[in-house]
Structure 1
Amino acid sequence: MKKRVTLTFPQRTVHMPVTYRLAKDFNVAANIIRAQVAPNQVGKLVLELSGDIDELEAAIEWLRSQGIGVSLASREIVIDENSCVDCGLCTGVCPTEALTLEPETFKLKFLRSRCVVCEQCIPTCPVQAISTNL
């Protein structure tokens, strides 16, 4: 099973080897989608966790017991097709190739199943046609 989570680290827990502990103690694989962690600052980490459902739940409970904020990511990328001008700028920053241009029509194609909601496409869009739902 997979779960996408956002972790918020208080300043005192930034130095903790979280992904190592998830793998070693809970047999949970952590794919880092986005990280913003610096010493002596609040940190944010977006992860896709993979593993057995019981191990995932135990890992999430352990994270919370360490004072790390855990929120399940339920956001999705939304593209306003009426505003999109199919310029393709977003395709250049999409790490999973969820955003591509159709070779024949040059229309933007969005494969939601590939999207990891890294949000790199949002500031790239010159007409602000890309956003997230809340």
Structure 2
Amino acid sequence: MKKRVTITFPKTAVQIPITYRLAKDFNVAANIIRAQVAPNQMGKLVVELQGDIDQIDAAIEWMRMRDINVFSASAEIVIDQDSCVDCGLCTGVCPTQALILDSETFRLNFRRSHCIVCEQCIPTCPVGAISTNL
């Protein structure tokens, strides 16, 4: 089973080796999609948890008991085609090539099945045409 979650933890929990504990204590693999973590600051991870559903649920409960917020990451990237100017800047930061320029029409194509919702494209868009549905 796979489950994508956003983990937000207070600065007091930054020192906890979360991904290590998930693997060692719960046999849950954590594929880090996006991370914003710094010493003595609030941290945020977007991860895809993989393992037995009961173990994933136990791991989530373990994090919540340590004041670590865990939210289901069901957001999707949305592109406002009316605002998009097909500049292609977003294609340069997309790690999965979900955003590509058509070589014939030079129009932006969004391949939703490739998107991991890392949100790197959002701040890159100069016209604000890219957002999430949340």
TM-score by length of 1: 0.93
2:130, 2:38 → 1: CA distance?
Answer: 28
Runs of 4+ in 1 over 4 A off after TM superposition: none
Structure 2: which amino acid aligns with 1:85? Answer: V
Paired position in structure 1 for 2:70 = 70
1:49, 1:59 → 2: CA distance?
Answer: 10
How far the C-alpha of 1:103 sits from its partner, in A, is: 2.0
Paired position in structure 1 for 2:50 = 50
- What is the aligned length? 134
Question: Structure 1 stretch 34-43 or stretch 18-27: which is displaced more?
Answer: 34-43
Paired position in structure 1 for 2:59 = 59
Paired position in structure 1 for 2:26 = 26
Paired position in structure 1 for 2:114 = 114
2:46, 2:95 → 1: CA distance?
Answer: 14
1:66, 1:47 → 2: CA distance?
Answer: 18
1:51, 1:116 → 2: CA distance?
Answer: 18
1:111, 1:52 → 2: CA distance?
Answer: 29
Indicate the percent of aligned positions where both proteins have the same amino acid: 75
2:58, 2:90 → 1: CA distance?
Answer: 37
2:54, 2:105 → 1: CA distance?
Answer: 46
Structure 2: which amino acid aligns with 1:4? Answer: R
- Cα shift readout 1:1-40 (whole Å, capped 9, x = no counterpart): 2111111111221101110111111111111111111222
Provide structure 2 residue ranges, at least 5 long, that are not aligned to the other structure: none
Paired position in structure 1 for 2:9 = 9
Paired position in structure 2 for 1:124 = 124
TM-score by length of 2: 0.93
1:97, 1:18 → 2: CA distance?
Answer: 29
- Cα shift readout 1:64-106 (whole Å, capped 9, x = no counterpart): 1122111111211100111111111100000111111122222
1:39, 1:129 → 2: CA distance?
Answer: 33
- Cα shift readout 1:97-124 (whole Å, capped 9, x = no counterpart): 1111122222211111221111111111
1:121, 1:132 → 2: CA distance?
Answer: 10
